[in-house]
């Protein structure tokens, strides 16, 4: 039962990663791409970590997997912010909005 | 299908080769470094699939993380202090020919040496696992890789740390002679992130060091994690290297080598040769060496990333 839940969660997480990758390839400028990548992959990683924690054998393992999620999410957000700020300071243009 | 993960392994092998080709073929140096880091991650996964978690950890932490940071730092230096700067003009004329000649010769030498090592090794039959397992009880540690690195073949490990020491000495010497060198990058990373991550990263480093006696881990992996701490401390400007700390930093550079060599020579005598730890004290001696190595490796790699001796009196200031 818990294993099934884990597999479903990991499958959902993979779908988010696919969506993030499509966004990375298709979006017009670096800021949109970063947005797609950090948000979608953050969610995908959260689901995959939850799924992996569901299939873990021991409590300690599950806690460690969840800790990995917390820290990867923190560093992902910080790295995304760094890249976006660097791009902005370097003068990378933004795609104008279309109505 | 006999092996359910066979498809995954074949895909992984293909991806490793493809990313390696990409790394060599892409023209932009920044993209090249990014591809190299991606290559390292896939190689680390390949080592996990080959049931070599020690090598995977080392590849991920040192081969990919620290090396990637050092290469990005070097690229920023080449581009005049910022990654968004211009690439230096390509080499031309006799300089280009000489550089190509030296690089080509080195590449051929490395390939030939690897070929000799590969074809000179026994192609089939058991390795030395049985001998290592038989000698493990006398080594003082329960993990065979640590036993080999810190006990059976500790002379090789001592030489590795000497190489690192030589590297940082050369970097400081070269930096002294550069008049127009750009200032080291600092203060880019959000401090709040650093304050959350640093205590955890230090704990992970200590854990890797301690667990190395019984499971994959050890001085080099722990040192690489702590080096990441050093890089983060520099980038978030929580610590700025000060001239007054030069002697302490230098002492830390040599601490690993000195402690290692002192223990190795100190155990000699009374019928034992150098590097032959007395069985009763082997574990504490190995832990002592590994602790000194970890701190030395972390500070040395951090200093290599920073790339400048803090306020050296011998540095040429011409600006």
Q: Could you give the CA distance from residue B26 to residue B44 in angstroms, rounded to a whole number? A: 22
Chain Cα centroid distance, residue B192? 27
Please report the pLDDT score of residue B185 as a whole number: 65
Q: Which residues contact B114 (CB under 8 A, 6 or more apart)?
A: none
Contacts of A74 in chain B (CB under 8 A): 193, 196-197
**Chain A residues within 8 A of B200 when measuring between CB atoms:** 71
Q: Which long-range contacts does B37-42 make (Cβ < 8 Å, 24+ apart)?
A: B37/B64, B37/B68, B40/B64, B40/B67, B40/B68, B42/B12, B42/B15, B42/B16
- Spatial distance between the Cα atoms of A42 and A73, rounded to a whole number of angstroms: 6
* Closest Cβ–Cβ partner in A71, A86, A89 for B200: A71
According to DSSP, the residues that pair with B269 across neighbouring strands are B272
Q: Which of B166, B164, B171 is nearest to B308 (CA)?
A: B171
Q: Residue A99: what pLDDT?
A: 44
Helix axes B191-211, B282-306, angle to 10 degrees: 150
Q: What's the confidence (pLDDT) of residue B33?
A: 93
Q: Is residue B156 classed exposed, middle or buried when 0-12, 13-18 and 19+ CB atoms within 10 A define those classes?
A: exposed
What integer pLDDT is reported at residue B42 of this predicted model? 95
- Please indicate whether, in this complex, the C-beta atoms of A78 and B189 are within 8 angstroms of each other: yes
Mutation target among B34, B79, B84, B194 for the A interface, most CBs of A within 10 A: B84
Dist. CA B99–CA B278, nearest whole Å:
50
Judging contacts by C-beta atoms under 8 Å, the chain A residues touching residue B188 are: 82
Could you give the dihedral angle defined by the CA atoms of residues B63, B146, B155 and B166, in that order, rounded to the nearest 10 degrees? Answer: 30
When scoring B193, B195, B202, B235 by the number of chain A Cβ atoms within 10 A, the one with the most, hence best to mutate, is: B193
State the best of B60, B192, B196 to mutate against chain A, taking most chain A CBs within 10 Å.
B196
Q: Quote the CA–CA distance of B251 and B257 in Å, as a whole number.
A: 10
Mutate to test the interface with B, among A14, A78, A79, A90 (most CBs of B within 10 A): A78
Could you state, in chain order, the average pLDDT of each consecutive group of 10 residues for chain A (99 residues)? 87 91 86 85 89 87 88 87 82 68
Q: Which of A74, A86, A89 sits opposite B193 (nearest CB)?
A: A74
pLDDT computed for residue B319 by the predictor: 41
The alpha-carbon gap from A99 to the nearest alpha carbon of chain B, in Å, equals: 32
CB < 8 Å to A78, chain B: 189-190, 193
The answer to whether the beta carbons of residues B53 and B216 sit under 8 Å apart is yes
Alpha-carbon distances of A12 from A33, B7, B132, rounded to whole Å: 21, 22, 45
- Torsional class of A94: left (φ above 0), alpha (ψ -120 to 50), beta (otherwise): beta
Q: Work out the minimum CA distance from B126 to partner chain A, whole angstroms.
A: 33
Measure CB to CB from residue A78 to each of B83, B84, B193 and give the nearest one.
B193
Question: What are the structure tokens assigned to B53, written together?
Answer: 């978690």
B229 vs B75: CA distance, rounded Å? 21
Res B318: pLDDT = 45
How far apart (Å, rounded) are the C-alpha atoms in residues B287 and A49? 34
Distance from CA of A93 to the nearest CA of B (A): 14
**Count of CB contacts below 8 A, A vs B?**
18
Per-residue pLDDT of chain B (319 residues; tens, 9 = 90+): 567 788 899 999 999 999 999 999 998 888 999 999 999 999 999 999 988 888 898 888 888 988 998 998 888 888 876 777 777 777 778 888 899 999 999 999 999 999 998 888 877 767 777 778 888 877 778 888 888 887 788 888 888 889 999 999 998 888 777 766 666 666 677 788 888 888 888 998 898 888 887 887 788 888 888 998 888 888 888 888 877 888 888 999 999 889 988 888 887 776 777 777 777 778 888 888 889 999 999 999 988 888 887 766 655 554 4
To the nearest whole Å, the CA of A97 is away from the closest chain B CA by 26
For A70, nearest residue in chain B (alpha carbons): B197
pLDDT of residue A80: 86
Residue A12 tokens read as: 């959902």
Residue of B nearest to A90 (CA): B84
């Amino acid at each position: 039962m818990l294993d099934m839940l884990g597999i479903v969660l990991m499958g959902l997480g993979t779908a988010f990663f696919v969506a993030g990758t499509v966004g990375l390839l298709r979006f017009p400028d670096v800021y949109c791409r970063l947005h797609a990548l950090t948000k979608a992959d953050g969610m995908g990683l959260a689901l995959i970590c939850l799924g992996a924690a569901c299939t873990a054998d021991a409590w300690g393992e599950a806690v460690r997997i969840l800790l990995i999620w917390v820290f990867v999410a923190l560093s992902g957000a910080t790295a995304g912010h760094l890249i976006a700020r660097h791009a902005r300071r370097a003068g990378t243009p933004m795609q104008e909005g279309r109505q | 299908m006999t092996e359910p993960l066979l498809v995954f392994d074949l895909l992984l092998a293909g991806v490793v080769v493809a990313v390696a080709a990409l790394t060599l073929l892409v023209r932009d140096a920044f993209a090249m470094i990014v591809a190299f880091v991606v290559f390292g991650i896939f190689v680390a996964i390949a080592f996990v699939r080959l049931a070599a978690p020690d090598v995977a950890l080392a590849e991920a932490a040192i081969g990919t993380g620290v090396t990637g940071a050092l290469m990005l730092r070097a690229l920023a230096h080449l581009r005049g202090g910022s990654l968004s700067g211009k690439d230096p003009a390509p080499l031309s004329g006799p300089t280009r020919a000489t550089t190509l000649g030296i690089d080509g010769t080195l590449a051929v030498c490395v390939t030939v040496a690897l070929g000799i090592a590969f074809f000179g090794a026994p192609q089939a039959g058991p390795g030395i696992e049985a001998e290592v397992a038989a000698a493990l009880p006398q080594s003082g540690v329960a993990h065979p890789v640590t036993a080999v690195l810190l006990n059976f073949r500790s002379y090789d490990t001592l030489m590795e740390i000497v190489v690192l020491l030589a590297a940082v000495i050369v970097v400081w010497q070269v930096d002294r002679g550069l008049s127009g060198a750009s200032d080291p990058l600092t203060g880019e990373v959000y401090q709040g992130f650093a304050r959350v991550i640093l205590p955890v990263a230090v704990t992970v480093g200590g854990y890797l060091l301690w667990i190395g006696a019984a499971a994959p881990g050890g001085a080099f992996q722990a040192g690489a994690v702590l080096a990441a701490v050093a890089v983060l401390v520099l980038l978030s400007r929580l610590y700025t290297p000060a001239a007054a700390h030069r002697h302490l930093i230098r002492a830390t550079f040599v601490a690993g080598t000195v402690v290692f060599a002192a223990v190795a020579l100190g155990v000699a005598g009374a019928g034992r040769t150098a590097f032959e730890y007395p069985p009763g004290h082997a574990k504490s001696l190995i832990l002592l060496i590994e602790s000194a190595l970890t701190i030395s490796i972390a500070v040395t790699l951090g200093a290599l990333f920073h790339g400048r001796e803090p306020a050296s009196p011998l540095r040429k200031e011409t600006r």
